[in-house]
């Protein structure tokens, strides 16, 4: 799964859209959410004890059903695309919103890959015998009910539902209003397929009303929901942080850096920097700030500048960078620390690694930070002293990813320090309970 | 460390107390907190990279200093005790508040035990080589800045400071207003000893003003604080849940049950039930609700009732219990699900294990649940289907504890599902970062 940050959709846009209210039963948003939450909560206990075989059967059914419903899903998507319009400034977003038969096949394929992953529920961790004879350890259990609030890409509906189901969690999905018809169509297919395969009602819950007040109420429903995962832009993060009484694991922005040290392999460094910036610039793990040791600034930046320019990258440089690369734009203050998510790169020449690490501490977002060097002790010091969800030596920041790290599919990249940090795989969608096998032990 | 729930102190009591405002510099609460937060945040990075030897040296100095300062601490404690008064209804609380030379030696001993524990910071978890040749794994790092809000017992000041220091975390401590003089005296000693041993200023931060608005501001300081741990009663939990924009790990109440199955070893069951209720009734892992299979109700409850009564326990029973134990008080509706924290026990006769598990799901607080049985398959089903921070077979609920589980000292028992659930030891005071050892890898 790609881990894109989708910043541009204001989440209160919903108000401007036409809302389809069912004609027969005009249920208030409050009642609507209350029913949904109760059904979801009630599904948590039966879902948590399903076997991997049960869950896999349902996932297979969901994948098949998606493919079979291609036509209906594309029709719904067409409606979203029409509402979205063809503003050329939002062409990238429109592209993310757009579904094709291939993309629907891709969603089904993704679900089948989740079938192949190990079910983490029930795994034992660290059992040991205590001096009093009792055996104690942890067993992985589902978190419970997870609310996922996301923007733009409709495939998240299928991915998130499948990951939650496989890990025994009820999901409550709330997609962006711009994709509401596509998401509703996809969710309907998934819910029906899961239900026909014996999954309890409510295990996959989808909020098909775009009203913003429903999000705010959801965020206060700590009696029903155990975790909120927001995936999206700054305004969504702010809304969730400010309003949630439920624990939150954020998938927030990435302002990622590479520091090219004085004795890096410069040819390798060029390949890595170009890859990190260019391979998929709209993702949260792409390179936004490059820091270069002053002693190699000229040798390294002249050919790199050429390669980046050829790849269409706009460079915004500090004064020393601009001396070496006269075509670069002078960086403004806010260019350092900015998540461009596009073919733009801020470059700064630094006097040593400590200045680079200070820059990262000041401007970074603790997402992904990489040093390129052949100096052993500096490599280890960078790994130890820099704080981020992933720190790297001689590797592209783009590699901070669930597949690349061997987790299989991921829910996204967590920027929260607690519980799960970095790529969030199936195991991170579980928590644990202590289990004690006793034989009459009491507290002395 | 004991894990007591201290429910009785309303946290806004502070307003009634005399506040000592420093005479020379009347600093507003806002400025006061801002300075404290900045100093604490600045300490996080240097503290995170200290060696275990550095930290242990400081802990030893803190333990020594506490013992040396016994007289000053007792004087401060005397002041708190005077303010607290001698209301006989609050005698148990006054006892928890009271310090003696022995209790101060106990605090120092506790710190020395933390010295002996393994430092989790820097430990590697699950490193593996990926197909592209890079090595990836997690390394434990401190969480950062941890705010701990607690009530009543002054020894928490020393315990929490020592656990945070050992795990490389800055702590911001906020004790109850009833213990403010004792806590201030203890914190002063700890801060000075740590500082003289080279620990960065602010690493142990103590809020020595009792004003409630400071808590509310602290809870919104997500730019400075990474985690809030509240230890105390319901009103504190409510305040924190509602107001915090910082992740929270609660140490909330325990409504713990034991279910005595039809074929339990009844003599062992009696010992376990008495231990779970009587051994230390004021703790969160003591027994509050006993569920007994109807077929053994009479055989089991008659001798148990006698033993409990002899131990001073008041029984509140369902109608069937009262039939068997005519001296028991009839249970009111709210007796099931109540955290008595005293020598009171609610007893209900159930028709089978499923009814017991339903009762636990309805009335329990997901803290500690135990089944007493010799039936293998029911034991395993109970462990699988009951959801709590600890589930047990044939053991006293009082054993849900960091020492008993082999973690060493604990911060308390987490009732939050995420990150740390159950006894929270040093390891749970760390998070992780991914570390990648590359050799030129890029994203294909």
CATH of residue A348: 3.40.309.10
A162 and A301 assigned to the same domain: no
User: What is the b/e burial string over A409-436, where b = at least 16 CB atoms within 10 angstroms of the residue's CB?
Assistant: bbbbbbbbbbbbbbbbbbbbbbbbbbbb
Do A194 and A276 lie in a common domain? Answer: no
Phi, psi of A259 (to 5 degrees): -110, 120
| Mean pLDDT of the region B326-353 | 96
B299 and chain A in contact, CB less than 8 A: no
- Helix, coil or strand: residue B8: coil
Kindly report the nearest CA distance between residue A429 and chain B, in angstroms: 10
Shortest distance, CA B122 to any CA of chain A (angstroms): 8
**What is the residue-averaged pLDDT of chain B?**
93
Boundary (domain end) residue, out of A175, A208, A243: A243
Q: Tokens for A33, please give them.
A: 């959410």
* Nearest-CB residue to B136 (from A370, A406, A443): A406
Residue B236 lies in a domain: yes
Domain check: are A323 and A212 in the same one? no
Is residue B74 a part of any domain in this protein?
A: yes
Q: How far apart are CA A181 and CA A179, in angstroms?
A: 6
Cβ-defined contact of A395 to B442 (cutoff 8 Å): yes
Which chain A residues are Cβ-neighbours of B370 within 8 angstroms? 436
In chain B, which among 60-89 make CB contacts under 8 A with chain A?
none
* Cα separation, A165 vs A173, whole angstroms: 12
Are B418 and A418 within 8 A, CB to CB?
A: yes
Chain A nearest C-alpha distance from B72 (Å)? 34
**B385 touching chain A per CB within 8 A:** yes
Which of these, B350, B363, B297, lies nearest to B325 by C-alpha position? B297
Report yes or no on A11 lying in a domain.
no
pLDDT in tens, B101-128: 999 999 999 999 999 999 999 999 999 9
Contacts B265 to A, Cβ<8 Å? 440
Which tens digit of pLDDT belongs to each residue from B8-55?
Answer: 444 444 444 555 655 666 899 999 999 999 999 999 999 999 999 999
Domain of residue B281 covers 256-399
Phi-psi region of B130 (alpha: psi -120 to 50; beta: other; left: phi over 0): beta
CB contact under 8 A, B400 and A434: yes
Tell me whether residues B392 and A144 touch, CB distance under 8 A: no
3-state class (DSSP) for residue A84: helix
Does A272 share its domain with A395? yes
The answer to whether residue A18 is domain-embedded is: no
Shortest Cα distance from B376 to chain A (angstroms)?
Answer: 11
Where residue B396 falls (left for φ over 0; alpha for ψ -120 to 50; beta otherwise) is: beta
Question: Does one domain contain both A200 and A83?
Answer: yes
How would you label B176-190 residue by residue, b for 16+ Cβ within 10 Å and e otherwise? bbbbbbbbbbbbbbb
**A176 within domain boundaries:** yes
- Judgement on whether residues A173 and A219 belong to the same structural domain of the protein: yes
Residue B395, strand partner residues:
A441
What are B95's two structure tokens?
């006892």
| B279 in the same domain as B220 | no
The set of residues, in sequence order, having a beta carbon less than 8 Å from that of A280 and lying 6+ positions away, is A2, A286, A398, B443
| A residues 127-186 lying closer than 8 A (beta carbon) to B | 128, 130, 132, 134, 136, 139, 141, 143-144
Q: Which residues pair with B150 in a beta bridge?
A: B231
Q: Is residue B433 part of a domain?
A: no
| Same-domain check for residues A166 and A284 | no
For residue B274, tell me if it sits in a domain: yes
Does residue A334 fall inside a structural domain?
yes
Digit-by-digit pLDDT tens for chain A (444 residues) are 344 444 344 444 444 455 565 566 689 999 999 999 999 999 999 999 999 999 999 999 999 999 999 999 999 999 999 999 988 888 878 888 999 999 999 999 999 999 999 999 999 999 999 999 999 999 999 999 999 999 878 999 999 999 999 999 999 999 999 999 999 999 999 999 999 999 999 999 999 999 999 999 999 999 999 999 999 888 999 999 999 999 999 999 999 999 999 999 999 999 999 999 999 998 899 999 999 999 999 999 999 999 999 999 999 999 999 999 999 999 998 999 999 999 999 999 999 999 999 999 999 999 999 999 999 999 999 999 999 999 999 999 999 999 999 998 899 999 999 999 999 999 999 999 999 999 999 999
What pLDDT digit, counting tens, does each position of B351-402 carry? 999 999 999 999 999 999 999 999 999 999 999 999 999 999 999 999 999 9
Give me B77's structure tokens. 């404690």
User: How many angstroms away from the CA of B33 is the closest CA of chain A?
Assistant: 20
Q: What percent of chain B has pLDDT over 90?
A: 88
CATH number of the domain bearing residue B33: 3.40.605.10
Interface of B with A in 194-253 (CB under 8 A): 222, 226-227, 241-242, 245, 247-249
Predicted local distance difference test score (pLDDT) of residue B90: 84
Name the residue of chain A whose CA is nearest to B379's CA: A437
Mean pLDDT on B154-164: 95
Q: At which of A243, A270, A305 does a domain end?
A: A243
Residues of B in Cβ contact (< 8 Å) with A393: 436-438
B297 burial (CB, 10 Å; 0-12 / 13-18 / 19+) is: buried
Mutate to test the interface with A, among B125, B228, B399 (most CBs of A within 10 A): B399
Q: Show residues of chain B in contact with A127, CB under 8 Å.
A: none
Span B438-444, mean pLDDT? 96
Three-state DSSP state, B388 = coil
| CB proximity B271 to A under 8 Å | yes
Q: What is the pLDDT of residue A333?
A: 87
Q: Write the DSSP assignment of A400-443 as a string of letters.
A: -STTTTT--S-S-EE--SSS--EE--TGGGEEEEEEEEEEEE--
Distance from CA of B177 to the nearest CA of A (A): 26
Residue B42 sits in the same domain as residue B158: yes
Tens digits of per-residue pLDDT, B224-260? 999 999 998 889 999 999 999 999 999 999 999 999 9
B212 and B77 share a domain? yes
Q: What is the pLDDT of residue A86?
A: 87
Q: What is the pLDDT of residue A113?
A: 95
Number of H helices, E strands in chain B: 14, 16
Q: What is the DSSP letter of B417?
A: S
Same domain, B232 and B284: no
Domain identity same for B192 and B261: no
Instruction: Evaluate whether A417 touches A252 at the Cβ level (below 8 Å).
Output: no
A122–B443 C-beta distance less than 8 A: no
CA distances from A299 to A270, A321, A349, B397 (A): 11, 12, 12, 67
Q: How far is B9 from chain A (nearest CA, A)?
A: 23
Cβ B442–A128 below 8 Å, yes or no? no
Residue among A136, A169, A220, A384 with most chain B CBs within 10 A, to mutate: A136
Element (H, E) at A256: strand A256-260
Q: How far apart are the first and last CA of chain B?
A: 52
Q: State mean pLDDT over B268-295.
A: 96
Per the structure, the count of domains in chain B is 2
How far, in Å, CA of B263 to CA of B394, rounded? Answer: 12
Partners of B52 on chain A (C-beta within 8 Å) are none
Q: How near does any CA of chain A get to the CA of B69, in Å?
A: 32
């Amino acid at each position: 799964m790609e881990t894109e940050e989708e910043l541009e959709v204001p989440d209160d846009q919903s108000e401007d859209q036409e809302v389809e209210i069912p004609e027969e039963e005009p249920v208030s948003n409050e009642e609507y959410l209350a029913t949904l939450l109760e059904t979801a909560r009630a599904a948590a206990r039966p879902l948590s004890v399903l076997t991997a075989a049960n869950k896999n059967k349902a996932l297979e059914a969901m994948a098949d059903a998606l493919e079979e419903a291609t036509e209906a899903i594309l029709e719904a998507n067409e409606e979203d695309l029409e509402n979205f319009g063809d503003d050329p400034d939002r062409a990238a977003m429109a592209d993310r919103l757009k579904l094709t038969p291939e993309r629907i096949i891709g969603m089904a394929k993704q679900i089948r890959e989740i079938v192949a992953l190990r079910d983490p529920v029930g795994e034992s961790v660290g059992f040991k015998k205590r001096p009093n004879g009792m055996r104690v350890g942890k067993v992985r259990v589902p978190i419970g009910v997870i609310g996922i609030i996301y923007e733009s890409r409709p495939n998240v509906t299928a991915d998130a539902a499948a990951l939650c189901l496989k890990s025994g969690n009820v999901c409550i999905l709330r997609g962006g209003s711009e994709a509401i018809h596509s998401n509703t169509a996809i969710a309907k297919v998934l819910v029906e397929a899961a239900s026909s395969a014996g999954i309890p009602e409510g295990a996959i819950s989808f909020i098909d009303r775009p009203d913003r007040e429903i999000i705010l109420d959801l965020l206060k429903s700590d009696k029903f929901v155990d975790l909120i995962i927001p995936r999206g832009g700054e305004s969504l993060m702010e809304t969730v942080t400010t309003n949630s009484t439920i624990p939150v694991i954020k998938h927030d922005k990435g302002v990622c850096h590479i520091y090219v040290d004085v004795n890096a392999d410069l040819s390798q460094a060029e390949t890595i920097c170009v890859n990190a910036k260019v391979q998929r610039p709209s993702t949260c793990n792409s390179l936004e700030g490059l820091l270069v040791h002053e002693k190699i600034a000229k040798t390294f930046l002249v050919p790199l500048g050429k390669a980046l320019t050829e790849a269409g990258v706009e460079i915004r440089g500090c004064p020393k960078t601009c001396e070496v690369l006269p075509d670069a734009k002078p960086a403004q203050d806010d260019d350092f620390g900015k998540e461009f998510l596009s073919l733009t790169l801020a470059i700064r020449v630094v006097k040593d690694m400590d200045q680079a690490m200070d820059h990262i501490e000041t401007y970074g977002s603790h997402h992904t930070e990489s040093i390129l060097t052949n100096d052993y002790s500096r490599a280890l010091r960078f790994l130890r002293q820099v704080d981020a969800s992933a720190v790297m030596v001689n590797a592209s920041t783009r590699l901070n990813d669930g597949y690349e790290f061997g987790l299989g599919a991921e829910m996204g990249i967590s920027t929260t320090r607690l519980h799960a940090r970095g790529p969030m795989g199936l195991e991170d969608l579980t928590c644990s309970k202590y289990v004690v096998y006793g034989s009459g032990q009491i507290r002395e």
